[in-house]
Amino acid sequence: MVKQSLANANQQAKVAAASICGLNRAYKSLAWFWSDQDDLKLQIAGLSQGYDQLMIRGDQHVGRSFAAFYFKNDQLIAADCINRPQEFMLSKKVISEKIAIHITQLIDESVSIKDMLQRLSPR
């Protein structure tokens, strides 16, 4: 098993053990994955199936760093992040908690992802 899949395997094992013990627990964890490929860090959050809008932060044609955000009915449902760990962390939070986020701010590189994360986190 690769280390990138360990968290998912652990979560599924907990649900399976609960089911064996007669407890009815649904598997509700956000699908996510990461992999280091030489100088690329690929990070994926959510499932992009059924999206109706795709927005990009960064220039996928220049350099090796951008994030693709998948929306369905104006709600972020998935993100593919290439060398963008902050965008990945933000995406996991927004998708998991079903937080509304302004698409224009999300793709505007003059808006700090760190600031967006801080605004979303309880104080």
Residue 54 predicted with pLDDT over 90: yes
**Three-state secondary structure call for residue 30:** coil
Band the pLDDT of 66: cuts 50, 70, 90.
very high
Instruction: Tell me the Cα Rg of the chain.
Output: 16
**Three-state secondary structure call for residue 44:** strand
Among 7-11, 26-30, 55-59, whose mean pLDDT is lowest?
Answer: 7-11
pLDDT digits (tens, 9 = 90+) for 36-45: 989 999 999 9
Which of 109, 77, 92, 98 minimizes the C-alpha distance to 34? Answer: 92
| Cβ–Cβ < 8 Å for 107, 57 | yes
Query: What CATH number was assigned to the domain covering residues 32-120?
Result: 3.30.390.30
Residue ranges covered by each domain of the chain? 1-30, 32-120
Counting beta carbons within 10 angstroms of the beta carbon of residue 68, is it exposed (0 to 12), middle (13 to 18) or buried (19 or more)? buried
Alpha carbons 39 and 119: distance in angstroms, whole number = 31
43 strand-pairing partners:
34, 81
Question: How large is the angle between the packed helices 85-96 and 113-120, nearest 10 degrees?
Answer: 30
